[in-house]
Protein backbone atom coordinates (compact mmCIF):
# COMPACT_ATOMS: atom_id res chain seq x y z
CA UNK A 1 0.00 0.00 0.00
CA UNK A 2 2.81 2.32 0.72
CA UNK A 3 4.25 4.21 -2.12
CA UNK A 4 7.94 3.90 -1.59
CA UNK A 5 10.81 5.98 -2.79
CA UNK A 6 14.47 5.31 -3.15
CA UNK A 7 16.65 7.29 -0.79
CA UNK A 8 17.92 9.38 -3.66
CA UNK A 9 14.41 10.22 -4.77
CA UNK A 10 13.39 11.24 -1.27
CA UNK A 11 16.47 13.36 -0.99
CA UNK A 12 15.58 15.03 -4.28
CA UNK A 13 12.04 15.65 -3.05
CA UNK A 14 13.30 17.33 0.11
CA UNK A 15 15.55 19.45 -1.99
CA UNK A 16 12.73 20.50 -4.28
CA UNK A 17 10.54 21.24 -1.26
CA UNK A 18 13.19 23.51 0.16
CA UNK A 19 13.00 25.32 -3.17
CA UNK A 20 9.25 25.75 -2.68
CA UNK A 21 7.92 23.07 -4.96
CA UNK A 22 4.29 22.34 -4.05
CA UNK A 23 4.10 19.22 -6.13
CA UNK A 24 7.13 17.76 -4.46
CA UNK A 25 5.61 18.52 -1.07
CA UNK A 26 2.43 16.74 -2.02
CA UNK A 27 4.39 13.78 -3.27
CA UNK A 28 6.36 13.64 -0.04
CA UNK A 29 3.10 13.59 1.85
CA UNK A 30 1.70 10.79 -0.26
CA UNK A 31 4.75 8.64 0.14
CA UNK A 32 5.63 9.28 3.74
CA UNK A 33 2.51 10.32 5.63
CA UNK A 34 1.37 6.81 6.59
CA UNK A 35 4.60 5.85 8.27
CA UNK A 36 5.19 9.27 9.78
CA UNK A 37 1.68 9.31 11.14
CA UNK A 38 2.27 5.86 12.58
CA UNK A 39 5.33 7.21 14.40
CA UNK A 40 3.40 10.16 15.83
CA UNK A 41 0.42 8.02 16.78
CA UNK A 42 2.57 5.52 18.64
CA UNK A 43 4.29 8.24 20.65
CA UNK A 44 1.19 10.24 21.49
CA UNK A 45 -1.41 7.45 21.66
CA UNK A 46 -3.90 10.07 20.57
CA UNK A 47 -5.17 10.69 17.05
CA UNK A 48 -5.67 14.42 17.51
CA UNK A 49 -2.23 14.90 19.02
CA UNK A 50 -0.62 12.76 16.32
CA UNK A 51 -2.38 14.81 13.67
CA UNK A 52 -1.08 17.98 15.25
CA UNK A 53 2.45 16.61 15.44
CA UNK A 54 2.56 15.52 11.82
CA UNK A 55 1.01 18.73 10.59
CA UNK A 56 3.48 20.83 12.55
CA UNK A 57 6.46 18.75 11.51
CA UNK A 58 5.64 18.90 7.82
CA UNK A 59 4.85 22.58 7.90
CA UNK A 60 8.21 23.22 9.54
CA UNK A 61 9.85 21.41 6.66
CA UNK A 62 7.92 23.46 4.11
CA UNK A 63 8.79 26.69 5.86
CA UNK A 64 12.39 25.63 6.18
CA UNK A 65 12.39 25.97 9.95
CA UNK A 66 14.28 22.73 9.74
CA UNK A 67 16.34 21.45 6.91
CA UNK A 68 17.62 18.07 5.90
CA UNK A 69 21.38 18.02 5.45
CA UNK A 70 22.33 15.32 3.04
CA UNK A 71 25.92 15.41 4.18
CA UNK A 72 25.09 13.98 7.56
CA UNK A 73 22.34 11.45 7.24
CA UNK A 74 19.64 9.77 5.27
CA UNK A 75 16.35 11.45 4.44
CA UNK A 76 14.26 8.67 5.98
CA UNK A 77 16.16 8.79 9.24
CA UNK A 78 15.94 12.54 9.41
CA UNK A 79 12.24 12.69 8.60
CA UNK A 80 11.30 10.18 11.25
CA UNK A 81 13.56 11.82 13.84
CA UNK A 82 11.94 15.16 13.12
CA UNK A 83 8.37 13.92 13.36
CA UNK A 84 9.21 11.87 16.42
CA UNK A 85 10.64 14.94 18.15
CA UNK A 86 7.50 16.94 17.46
CA UNK A 87 5.33 14.09 18.71
CA UNK A 88 7.36 13.72 21.89
CA UNK A 89 7.20 17.48 22.46
CA UNK A 90 3.43 17.48 22.21
CA UNK A 91 3.03 14.33 24.26
CA UNK A 92 5.20 15.72 27.06
CA UNK A 93 3.35 18.99 27.08
CA UNK A 94 0.06 17.19 27.30
CA UNK A 95 1.19 14.92 30.11
CA UNK A 96 3.33 17.07 32.32
CA UNK A 97 2.68 14.95 35.38
CA UNK A 98 3.89 11.70 33.96
CA UNK A 99 2.81 9.25 31.36
CA UNK A 100 -0.83 8.21 31.41
CA UNK A 101 -1.63 4.49 31.58
CA UNK A 102 -2.54 4.30 27.90
CA UNK A 103 1.07 5.03 27.13
CA UNK A 104 2.87 3.72 30.17
CA UNK A 105 1.17 0.37 30.34
CA UNK A 106 0.27 -0.35 26.76
CA UNK A 107 1.26 -3.62 25.32
CA UNK A 108 4.23 -4.04 23.14
CA UNK A 109 3.76 -6.93 20.81
CA UNK A 110 7.35 -7.42 19.81
CA UNK A 111 6.73 -10.53 17.77
CA UNK A 112 4.03 -8.94 15.67
CA UNK A 113 6.28 -5.93 15.21
CA UNK A 114 9.24 -8.01 14.12
CA UNK A 115 6.99 -9.94 11.76
CA UNK A 116 6.09 -6.68 10.04
CA UNK A 117 9.72 -5.91 9.44
CA UNK A 118 10.11 -8.24 6.52
CA UNK A 119 8.84 -5.84 3.90
CA UNK A 120 12.10 -4.21 2.92
CA UNK A 121 15.69 -5.43 2.99
CA UNK A 122 16.67 -2.67 5.41
CA UNK A 123 14.01 -3.49 7.95
CA UNK A 124 14.58 -7.22 7.57
CA UNK A 125 18.22 -6.60 8.30
CA UNK A 126 17.47 -4.61 11.42
CA UNK A 127 14.92 -7.22 12.49
CA UNK A 128 17.57 -9.90 12.20
CA UNK A 129 19.93 -7.78 14.28
CA UNK A 130 17.23 -7.18 16.89
CA UNK A 131 16.60 -10.92 17.08
CA UNK A 132 20.13 -11.40 18.32
CA UNK A 133 19.31 -9.39 21.45
CA UNK A 134 17.55 -10.85 24.43
CA UNK A 135 13.93 -9.90 24.90
CA UNK A 136 14.32 -7.26 27.62
CA UNK A 137 17.00 -5.49 25.62
CA UNK A 138 14.81 -5.51 22.56
CA UNK A 139 11.93 -4.17 24.58
CA UNK A 140 14.07 -1.36 25.93
CA UNK A 141 14.98 -0.27 22.41
CA UNK A 142 11.38 -0.30 21.27
CA UNK A 143 10.03 1.54 24.31
CA UNK A 144 12.69 4.20 23.89
CA UNK A 145 12.65 4.69 20.14
CA UNK A 146 9.06 4.00 19.19
CA UNK A 147 7.19 4.86 22.39
CA UNK A 148 9.39 7.81 23.24
CA UNK A 149 9.74 6.73 26.87
CA UNK A 150 12.65 7.99 28.96
CA UNK A 151 15.15 5.66 30.58
CA UNK A 152 13.48 6.28 33.94
CA UNK A 153 10.06 5.41 32.64
CA UNK A 154 11.36 2.29 30.98
CA UNK A 155 13.01 1.24 34.22
CA UNK A 156 9.74 1.71 36.06
CA UNK A 157 7.78 -0.10 33.43
CA UNK A 158 10.12 -3.09 33.26
CA UNK A 159 10.87 -3.02 36.97
CA UNK A 160 14.57 -2.74 36.41
CA UNK A 161 17.07 -0.40 38.01
CA UNK A 162 17.66 2.59 35.75
CA UNK A 163 21.36 1.73 35.63
CA UNK A 164 20.45 -1.60 34.12
CA UNK A 165 18.30 0.04 31.48
CA UNK A 166 21.17 2.31 30.55
CA UNK A 167 23.82 -0.37 30.44
CA UNK A 168 21.58 -2.68 28.46
CA UNK A 169 20.75 -0.05 25.89
CA UNK A 170 24.42 0.82 25.66
CA UNK A 171 25.31 -2.82 25.03
CA UNK A 172 22.46 -3.26 22.58
CA UNK A 173 23.63 -0.32 20.53
CA UNK A 174 27.13 -1.74 20.35
CA UNK A 175 25.73 -5.07 19.26
CA UNK A 176 23.47 -3.50 16.66
CA UNK A 177 26.28 -1.46 15.23
CA UNK A 178 28.36 -4.56 14.71
CA UNK A 179 25.48 -6.52 13.26
CA UNK A 180 24.61 -3.73 10.84
CA UNK A 181 28.16 -3.00 9.81
CA UNK A 182 28.12 -3.01 6.04
CA UNK A 183 29.79 -6.15 4.84
CA UNK A 184 32.94 -4.95 3.16
Partner 1 sequence: MSTLYMFPPNERPTEDTDTLAGEYVLGVLNPGEAAATRLRADNDPALQLAIGAWQARLVPMVAMLPQPAPPPEIWARLAQDIGMPAEPTSASAPDHAGDQSPEPTSASGPEPASASGPEPVAEPEPEWVGEQPGEPFVEDAWEAVAEPMVIEPQVPVEIEIEAVIYEPERPPAAEPAEAASVAPEPTWADIAEPEPAIQQAAVSPPEPTPAPQSVVTTAFARLTEPSLTEPPTQPRFTAALRLIDSLLFWRAATAASLVLAAAIALFAYINRSPSLVSVAAIGTANAPSPIYLADLDSHASLHITPLAVIAVPSGRDLQLWMLTSNDAQPIPLGILQADGLTVTLPTRPAEGTRFLVTMEPRGGAPSGRITGQVLYGGVLATR
Residues 6+ apart with CB under 8 A from 59: none
Alpha helices in the chain (DSSP H): 7-18, 22-44, 47-62, 75-94, 101-104, 110-116, 121-131, 135-145, 151-158, 162-180
Q: What is the DSSP letter of 175?
A: H
Q: Is 178 in the site for partner 1 (CB under 8 A)?
A: no
Q: Angle 22-44/7-18 helices, nearest 10 degrees?
A: 110
Q: Is 96 in the site for partner 1 (CB under 8 A)?
A: no
The CB-of-172 to partner 1 minimum distance in angstroms stands at: 9
Residue 164 three-state SS: helix
The yes or no reply on residue 165 touching partner 1 (CB under 8 A) is: yes
Site for partner 1 contains 64 (CB under 8 A): yes
**Residue 170 in the binding site for partner 1 (CB under 8 A):** yes
x/- map, 8-27, partner 1, by CB under 8 A: xx-xx--xx-xxxxxxxxxx
159 binds partner 1 (CB under 8 A): no
**33 burial type by CB count under 10 A (0-12 exposed, 13-18 middle, 19+ buried):** middle
**Of 101 and 121, which has the nearer Cβ to partner 1?**
121
- Closest approach, Cβ 155 to partner 1, in A, equals 10
Is 151 a binding residue for partner 1 by CB under 8 A? The answer is yes
Regarding 148 and contact with partner 1 (CB under 8 A), the answer is: yes
Amino acid sequence: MEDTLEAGDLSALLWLIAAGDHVAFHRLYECQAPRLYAVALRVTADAALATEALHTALLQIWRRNVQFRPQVGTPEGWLVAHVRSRAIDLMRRRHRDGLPPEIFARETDLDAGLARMTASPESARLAAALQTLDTPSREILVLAFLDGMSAGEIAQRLRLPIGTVKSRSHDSLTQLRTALEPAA
